[in-house]
Each structure stands twice: as C-alpha cells, then as structure tokens.
Amino acid sequence: MAESTGLHQPRWLEQRLPPSTQRRLVVLTGARQTGKTTLARGVYGEALRYVSFDDLLLRTDLEEVPASRWAASVGPAILDEAQKAPAVFDKVKHAFDERQLDFSVLLGSSRILLLDRVRESLAGRAFLYDLWPLLLSELAAEAGGDLERPLLSRWLAEGTEALAEEPARRLGGLEERSLAALQHLARWGGMPGLLELSDEDRRLWFRSFQQTYLERDLIDLVRLSDLQPFRKLQRLAMLRTAQLLNYSGLAQDAQIAASTARRYLEYLHLTYQVLLLQPYHENLTSQVVKSPKLFWTDLGLLRGGTERWGELDGGMFETLVVSEIHKWISTAFEPSRLFYYRTRSGLEVDLLIEQDAGLLGVEAKHRERAVPRDLTSLRAVAVALGERWRGGVVVTRGRVLRELDQDLGIWEVPAHRLLS
C-alpha cells in the first residue's frame, strides 16, 4: 500500500463517472473527507470551473444570479457543498432544460438535504453516485497506477468458478500490498486524508473529524440545541457494531426516548456513518429475527470515536468484511442486495447476497484458519435454499484459499484476497 508518496490514489468511481462531453447532471455525495472534491477536480478540473458554496460571499453573490443568466454567469461547473445554496438547484435545472447548459457536477456531504433538492428540482435529470472511504482494493493499488478488479467482483459474477481458478497461495507485490492494505483498513479505516499522516497525527485527525461532523454535517441536517445526547448515542452505537439493533435498549443506555434513538440512528445513516443491514425476508429454517443489524461503515472512525486502538475482535472483523462488501456493491453498481440471516434458535449467517441468479453466503471469522463449526449455518441455509444457493465463503484473516465443501460450493477465502 502506497503511503506518503504524494501521488494520486486511484478510485474505482473515476471509471464510472461520465465524461463532461455528455449531456448530464452528476450528483456526487458521501461522508465528509472521503475525497469527493479531489475526485471531481481530478476528473473534471480541466473542463469545469470550481465553485464552493462554503464561501459565504460567493454563495451570496451567486444567489443573486437569475436562473436565466446562470449558464452565462457560471456555466459548466463543479458546485461543491451545493445543499448550502438551495436556490442553485432550480437555476441549474432551468439552464439544463433550456439547453443553455449541458453538464455540471453537484457535490455534497449531507445526503438528505442534497438528495431532497435533487428530488424536488432535478428528478429524471441527475445521475447519482456515492463515494465511500477508500476500499481495500483502492488502498492496495500502487499510487498513480491502475486498479485491479477484486476477487469479490468475480465471485459475485461467476460464483464458485471464480474461486476455483485462484491459486491456494498468492505471492508477489500485490499480495504484500493487499496484506498491508488490510492492516491499514483494520487499524485506521479508509479516509484518504490519513495516508500521509503519522500515527499521532491520525489520532488528532479523528478528533477533528468528529468535531467537524457534529458542528457542520449534523447541524446542516438538523438543529439540535444540545449535542451531548447525540454524542452519547453515537458512541454507544459504535460499541454495538455487528450487533442486532435494539432501539429500546440503546435508548435506555443513552438516557433518551426510543423515538429519539430511532431519529438519531437515522441521522447517522443519512450522513454515511452507519449501515443498517436488514434481515433476510424468508424463514428458511425456523422463525427469524426481524431486527436490523448495525454496522459502522469505517473502522477508523469507530476506533477514533471509542479509543479502541487494540487488536481487532470478532465484531470489528465482521464490520470490516460487511462494510467492504457493501461499499464495493454500491461503488460498482453490482445488481446485489445485502441481508443477514438469524433465527430465534441461534442459527446465523453474517451476510446473504441476493441476486437474480440466486444467493451467496458470507461468514466472517476472525481467525487464521476456518474450523468445521464455521460451516454449520452456511450448510443449513444452502440446503434450505436448494437450487437458489450459488455458494458461500468463510472469510478469515489467514493466507490460504481452499475448498471446504465441494457439494455446496463453500470456500475459505482470506479477507485480503477476497477484497483485492
């Protein structure tokens, strides 16, 4: 993994963003500090002017530009923090509909405000993209180099055949970069701004991020007179990553109403902090648990918010695997839907990936080598699904890829191999 080089770290979304020669409005959103501005200026900087609505004076000036003059006054542009200037959406819409403007990019880190404006003014005109923290395959790429399609992508498309084509062990530069990337992701998460910092400065960065998130993103989203209850719930939610979400228990521990806990969790979801994984909707083996499962989307932010700088535990390893798969599917526009499966009798599969062709199962086990009991739930679900079962993986922190159950297509795959 490249660090402290000053070179450009490649992003998968670069390959998906449309060229500025197309007639299109692009909306790029994601958590603060994921690199939206860097990505947009890197892709479009030579073709589009850059306008930031964080600049209050500039924002005031542009608010006075009439819609009929928007194309002539601003033209094709990267409009950063666009949700801070609600009137701009109608002006861009007018210029686009009148064919005075063929291309613009709108950026924002407040999902609900930005997308509400898109729905109101740009419905049917805008193409939406989410930018997540760096994926493991992006961290493993050489700075300034090309990205390599992760094994995860091939497994989603081809199933067991993709794993059968892989060597049991992998040697060379990619293997070492992948291992280093996994270590970085597990320790610091995927925020791009951390790559060139020392460990001490990274911890300071997390404190600054948390303050900025509370004072800017959260205040943009909702006016809270007292941030302390939210801070408390946020930390409690971090400590519950990879666990079933019990709103009443969380509210009781945070000393707030259950309705307030639900509202605060929704704020965390809308600002890209948490993933709420829903239960699979069919009773395959026995009565299923119906509560969502909570995952933090970035382990670095979780560690920074809880000061848990020690070794990874099982819940954190599961969080890393689930969040990385979610980020890849979102970034690559994979036609897949994610669930977990758990019965009241205790049978659980960490992740079920539903596709039109069938379902794939994932178990995340924080150990060097899978053991027989790791296959119990995958086998039960595979048998219950019958022909809809496409195969499964037990993801470990080891180095050897091997077949565990030939009949059901279940393999052990090291995390760094699956995700890079």
Query: Is 36 in the same domain as 17?
Result: yes
Instruction: Answer whether residue 3 is part of any domain.
Output: no
pLDDT at position 6: 45
Query: Is 118 in the same domain as 141?
Result: no
Q: Of 130, 165, 188, which closes a domain?
A: 130
Closest by Cα among 275, 237, 301 to 32: 301
Closest by Cα among 312, 410, 318 to 370: 410
Instruction: Answer whether residue 1 is part of any domain.
Output: no
Spell out the residues 6+ positions from residue 176 whose beta carbon is closer than 8 angstroms to its own. none
DSSP state of 246: -
pLDDT at position 4: 41
pLDDT at position 5: 43
Instruction: Answer whether residue 6 is part of any domain.
Output: no
Instruction: Answer whether residue 309 is part of any domain.
Output: yes
Note down the domain range covering 58. Answer: 12-130
E runs forming strands in 88-223:
103-108, 126-130
Residue 226 carries which side chain, given as an amino acid letter?
D
Query: Is 44 in the same domain as 154?
Result: no
Helical (H) or strand (E) element with 161: helix 160-164
User: Domain of 103: which CATH number?
Assistant: 3.40.50.300
> Assign residue 237 a region: left if phi > 0, alpha if psi is -120 to 50, beta otherwise?
alpha
Q: Of 130, 158, 189, which closes a domain?
A: 130
What whole-number distance in Å separates Cα of residue 263 and Cα of residue 230? 10
- The rounded average pLDDT for each run of 10 residues, N- to C-terminus, in the chain (420 residues) is 57 95 93 93 95 89 92 95 86 94 89 67 83 96 84 96 95 91 97 94 93 76 78 94 95 94 91 93 76 96 94 96 97 94 90 97 97 96 96 97 97 97
Contact 104/77 with Cβ under 8 angstroms?
A: yes
What whole-number distance in Å separates Cα of residue 13 and Cα of residue 10? 9
Number of Cβ within a 10 Å radius of residue 154: 15
Residue located via tokens 């990619």: 174
Query: Is 199 in the same domain as 147?
Result: yes
Q: Of 79, 110, 130, which closes a domain?
A: 130
Contact 27/127 with Cβ under 8 angstroms?
A: yes
pLDDT at position 361: 98
Q: Transcribe 368-380 into DSSP letters.
A: SS--GGGGHHHHH
Query: Is 104 in the same domain as 144?
Result: no
pLDDT at position 224: 72
pLDDT at position 273: 93
Spell out the residues 6+ positions from residue 374 whose beta carbon is closer than 8 angstroms to its own. 363, 365, 394
Instruction: Answer whether residue 394 is part of any domain.
Output: yes
Considering the entire predicted model, what is its pTM? 0.93
pLDDT at position 83: 81
* CA 329, chain centre distance (Å): 9
